[in-house]
Amino acid sequence: MKIGIDRISFYTSHYFVDLKTLAEARKVDADKYYVGIGQEKMGIPAPDEDVVTLGASAAYPLMKEGELEEVELLLFATETGIDQSKAAGVYVHGLLELGPRCRTVELKQACYSGTAAIQMALGFVARNPAKKALVITSDVARYELGSPGEATQGCGSVAMLISADPRILAIDPEAGYYTEDVMDFWRPNYRSEALVDGKYSTMVYIHALIESWKQYAEESGRELTDFDRFCYHIPFTKMAEKAHQKLCRKCRVKTSREDMQHLLEESLRYSRITGNCYSGSMYVGLTSLLETGEEDLTGKRIGLYSYGSGCVGEFYSGVVQPGYRDVLFGDQHAKMLAERTELTYQQYEDIFHYGVPTDGGDYIFPQYKTGPFRFSGISQHKREYESLV
């Protein structure tokens, strides 16, 4: 039985900062961002958006099409937790009006947890082929102002329906994974910005890739040349390119600039203008590949590398299914990205300093009211959300 991704939908904030604007404020050459790290824009969530509203908004198109009726498992992957106890997914369950007969839980392991959620969902469907699982990855990448990580901020969410006989990507049973206790990137509970040892993190990312690949290759018997495209975790697009070059070198596969372009470029298009979406980054890459690529990918095998600092890496793969183009949301995503509003540097800083909301604060932000769902405040220490649809 084939199991995998049946639908995929992504969402990012209505607001962005062009990295030229940031470069000017930080007095660096804009090409350091545009060329050096390969990023052009970063998505910035408005004060009335958080991982719940982003996640529910990503899944909303599926809800509208009646695709969520058989969902009995909701896995919500995030490293931007809004509560130490209650799963953000339970709020999303309410906003999406899912049935009460549903398991809901939040998963965390930095940017990796979306992949853990997918693997768990595959197991659930294998035991219950008539049932479906909804995996939502949702994050806000936030670093200190003026820090090296600042230009790699972003936000976004990806909602994926996991089912038997999937219409988009049948996931192969083989996988290679790797865990090592390292401190390359982390966010203590008392901070709203991540801490990162930037250069070290890029080295650990690649080390975990090589180790994950080794296990995957042993289990599957496949070689790098058996893949038609690759999707990497994308903290910034240059990272994915460097990782693939390193993997090719390790496997002694010659890869020209044109090969790199062919294997990766389509998967990097959305991330270049949304920024890092942490747990969703690789899945934003997959969405970008499927929706923006000109070639019909039916029957093609995609290699997927997921990485979460701390760290856990996983390499797995899937085969694109016939008719996949008929069930994508490419036009909606293109419209969403084209209609975003650019922030000035001052507007960006104002939103940044708004920080983490606390009980009873001022939550009236009519100027930012966008998207199908909004965070409307905290009363008696309870988060409140409003559906605008």
Binding residues for ligand CAA, per CB under 6 A? Answer: 29, 31-32, 35-37, 111, 148-149, 152, 184-185, 196, 198-199, 201-202, 205, 233, 235-236, 239, 276, 278, 307, 309
- For ligand CAA, which is the closer residue by CB, 129 or 148? 148
Q: In the complex, what is the shortest distance from the CB of residue 313 to ligand CAA, in angstroms, rounded to a whole number?
A: 10
- For ligand CAA, which is the closer residue by CB, 57 or 309? 309
Sequence-ordered list of residues with C-beta below 8 angstroms from that of 95, at least 6 positions apart, any chain: 52, 56, 373, 385, 387
Q: In the complex, what is the shortest distance from the CB of residue 260 to ligand CAA, in angstroms, rounded to a whole number?
A: 14
Q: Which of 14, 93, 233, 244 is catalytic?
A: 233
- At position 9, the amino acid (one-letter code) is S
- For ligand CAA, which is the closer residue by CB, 19 or 87? 19
- Cα(202)–Cα(255) distance, integer angstroms: 21
Q: In the complex, what is the shortest distance from the CB of residue 308 to ligand CAA, in angstroms, rounded to a whole number?
A: 7
Q: In the complex, what is the shortest distance from the CB of residue 202 to ligand CAA, in angstroms, rounded to a whole number?
A: 5
- For ligand CAA, which is the closer residue by CB, 55 or 235? 235
Backbone angles phi, psi at 311, to 5 degrees: -145, 155
Residue sitting closest to ligand CAA (CB): 36
- For ligand CAA, which is the closer residue by CB, 161 or 234? 234
Q: Which of 49, 67, 72, 79 is catalytic?
A: 79
Radius of gyration for the chain, computed over Cα atoms and rounded to the nearest angstrom? 20
Q: In the complex, what is the shortest distance from the CB of residue 119 to ligand CAA, in angstroms, rounded to a whole number?
A: 19
- For ligand CAA, which is the closer residue by CB, 149 or 166? 149
- Cα(96)–Cα(62) distance, integer angstroms: 9
Note if 207 is an active site residue.
Answer: no
Query: Is the distance from CB of 326 to CB of 257 less than 8 angstroms?
Result: no
- For ligand CAA, which is the closer residue by CB, 73 or 264? 264
Q: Which of 14, 111, 231, 277 is catalytic?
A: 111
Per-residue burial over 305-329, b if 16 or more Cβ lie within 10 Å, else e, is bbbbbbbbbbbbbbbbbeebeebbb
For CA atoms 278, 281, 282, 283, give the dihedral sign: positive
- At position 157, the amino acid (one-letter code) is S
Note if 111 is an active site residue.
Answer: yes
Distances (CA, A) of 289 to 62, 162, 175, 351: 20, 19, 21, 31
Q: Report the catalytic residues.
A: 79, 111, 233
